[in-house]
Amino acid sequence: MAPVTVTGAVVAATLSIALLSYFLRKRSAHHKALSPKNPKKGLIDAIGNTPLIRINSLSEATGCEILGKAEFLNPGGSVKDRVAVKIIQEALESGQLVQGGVVTEGSAGSTAISLATVAPAYGCKCHVVIPDDAAIEKSQILEALGATVERVRPVSITHRDHYVNIARRRAFEANEVALKHKRVKHLDAKDVKQINGNTSEVDERSTVFSTDCKGGFFADQFENLANYRAHYEGTGPEIWEQTGGKLHAFVAAAGTGGTVAGVSRFLKEKDPSIECFLVDPPGSGLFNKVTRGVMYTKEEAEGRRLKNPFDTITEGIGINRLTENFKMAELDGAFRGTDMEAVEMSRFLLKNDGLFVGSSSAMNCVGAFRVAQLIGPGHTIVTILCDNGMRHLSKFHNAQYLSQHGLTPSATGLELLRLK
């Protein structure tokens, strides 16, 4: 009987060990599930790596996989967070900007908001010049973020008081204030009085920038290639990885041109067969540049254009000049989108997908639909969901404003887009 007893004891011990091992594994898995997974190290680390989401309604309507890069989930609420980080980091590394300095920018809204969001994380301040026809909530957000905001009337980029040109001057003025303050620290009271008496122009500027200002840096999002690099090094590689390299087309609108340039160039380098497209709003010359090689139509060349060249309700996209960033783009074609199409698309996405998007995001989705019509079912198309509708409440998502401009949405589906 002894062998039986020993065998029974061995079996019992084995079962006990197995059960203990099982419960320990379960406990370990439970604790692992509850433990934090690589928490982000501050605001800057949380920017980028946004999800790529399937836009179900458009995918089902076209037979394509239409995917949107959800850039509105960045901390500052838009794709421009990436640009703001890259611009400031490169400026700090080059010594053009120092902690305590002021980043200046001329922006219709999103880039300004992103700069105002990330600048404090680098110990810097933000001064923004914005056209006064931009949605008022953008100025309100900027002020809430602690930025200094100048709202100015819209004029041609060739005018010295275009918001971008004013922002450039503000950086120069901030540097003058910093230099003056640095010199004053090395002078005695008599010399200080003499300087103050002979530099009234600089003193007037001191009312804009405080005497503890450490200088200014003009972000220059339109021409600064840090914009392009942010997307070539970040957004493009993320899209490639998230799709496993299995995408057929990319489409986006352009304002500065950084997004469409950085993403298109990266994807083309990875796979030249990926087709990249521009979608362009009313008044912009980029559609003509891509399709015809010129920035203007025949009517514009003959001087018969009557409307404002930026007569569109979409904000942050469309331009009538070639920027250094847009020059980096590698595009296979372009589509013209209308304000009405963008409005209808935004309402369609909200109703069918729960996506509350801004004007540029809606135009990008118009572009994705157009690409799907062009290349046919069975393809994967990626676009950018730049920001959400929260900063477009007074215009793009305002029924009264749209009514005044003859843009009241009435479509029940995508019939407006299906006509083409």
Cβ-contact 200, 144 below 8 angstroms = no
Q: What is the pLDDT of residue 158?
A: 87
pLDDT at 22: 52
**Mean pLDDT over each residue of the chain, to the nearest integer:** 86
Residues 6+ apart with CB under 8 A from 379: 64, 65, 248, 249, 372
Q: Which bin fits 394, alpha (ψ -120 to 50), beta or left (φ > 0)? A: alpha
Sorted by sequence, the CB contacts under 8 Å of residue 68 that are 6+ apart come out as 52, 53, 55, 355, 361, 364, 365, 368, 382, 383, 384, 385
Average pLDDT over residues 267-293: 96
Contact between 369 and 58 under an 8 Å Cβ cutoff? The reply is yes
**Confidence (pLDDT) at 417:** 84
Higher-confidence residue of 109 and 113: namely 113
Least trusted range by pLDDT, from 11-25, 134-148, 207-221, 401-415:
11-25
Domain boundaries, the chain: 45-73+231-418, 80-218
Q: Return the pLDDT at 181.
A: 74
pLDDT over 60 at 2, yes or no: no
**pLDDT above 70: percentage of residues in the chain:** 81
Q: For residues 397-408, give the mean pLDDT.
A: 94
pLDDT confidence of 25, banded at 50, 70, 90? Answer: low
pLDDT at 276: 98
SS3 for the chain is: CHHHHHHHHHHHHHHHHHHHHHHHHHHHHHHHHHCCCCCCCCCHHHCCCCCEEECHHHHHHHCCEEEEEEHHHCCCCECHHHHHHHHHHHHHHHCCCCCCCEEEEECCCHHHHHHHHHHHHHCCEEEEEEECCCCHHHHHHHHHCCCEEEEECCCCCCCCCCHHHHHHHHHHHHHHHHHHHHHHCCCCHHHHHHHHHHCHHHHHHCCCCCCCCCCEEECCCCCCCHHHHHHHHHHHHHHHHHCCCCCCEEEECCCCCHHHHHHHHHHHHHCCCCEEEEEECCCCCHHHHHHHCCCCCHHHHCCCCCCCCCCCCCCCCCCCCCCCCHHHCCCCEEEECCHHHHHHHHHHHHHHHCCCECHHHHHHHHHHHHHHHHHCCCCEEEEEECEEHHHHCCCCCCHHHHHHCCCCCCCCCCHHHHCC
pLDDT, average across residues 148-177? 92
Summarize the confidence of residues 322-339 as an average pLDDT.
Answer: 97
Structure confidence at residue 180 (pLDDT): 84
Q: Average pLDDT of 307-334?
A: 86
pLDDT in tens, 372-381: 999 999 999 9
By the 8 A CB rule, do 142 and 163 touch?
no
pLDDT of residue 418: 75
More confident residue, 147 or 8: 147
Residue 8 pLDDT exceeds 90: no
264, 276 in Cβ contact below 8 A?
yes
Decide: 74 and 45 in contact? Cβ < 8 Å.
no
Residue 108 pLDDT: 73
- Of 369, 375, 361, 364, residue with least CA distance to 332: 375
* Confidence check: pLDDT of 27 > 90: no
Convert 5-23 to b/e letters by CB count within 10 Å (16 or more is b): eeeeeeeeeeeeeeeeeee
Is there a contact between 83 and 258 (Cβ–Cβ < 8 Å)?
Answer: yes
Structure tokens belonging to residue 97 = 């900007």
Above 60 in pLDDT, residue 129?
yes
Whether 139 shows a pLDDT value over 60: the answer reads: yes
Please, is 400 exposed, middle or buried when counting C-beta atoms within 10 Å of its C-beta (0-12, 13-18, 19+)? Answer: exposed
Question: Which among 402, 254, 404 is positioned nearest to 321, based on CA atoms?
Answer: 254
Identify which has the larger pLDDT, 86 or 203. 86
Distance CA 81, CA 142 (A): 14
- Rounded to an integer, what distance in angstroms lies between the CA atom of residue 327 and that of residue 118? 27
Tens digit of pLDDT for each residue in 352-370?
999 999 999 999 999 999 9
pTM, two decimal places? 0.84
CATH classification code of 80-218: 3.40.50.1100
Instruction: Say which CATH topology domain 45-73+231-418 has.
Output: Rossmann fold (3.40.50)
Q: What is the mean pLDDT of residues 220-226?
A: 97
Highest mean pLDDT among 10-24, 25-39, 63-77: 63-77
State the average pLDDT over residues 290-319: 70
Q: What is residue 199's predicted lDDT score, i.e. its pLDDT?
A: 37
| Stretch 222-233: mean pLDDT | 98
Q: Order across the sheet with 275-280: list the strands.
A: 52-54, 65-70, 380-385, 249-252, 275-280, 333-336
Tokens coding 211: 């005497």
Dihedral (CA of 110, 417, 272, 237) sign: positive
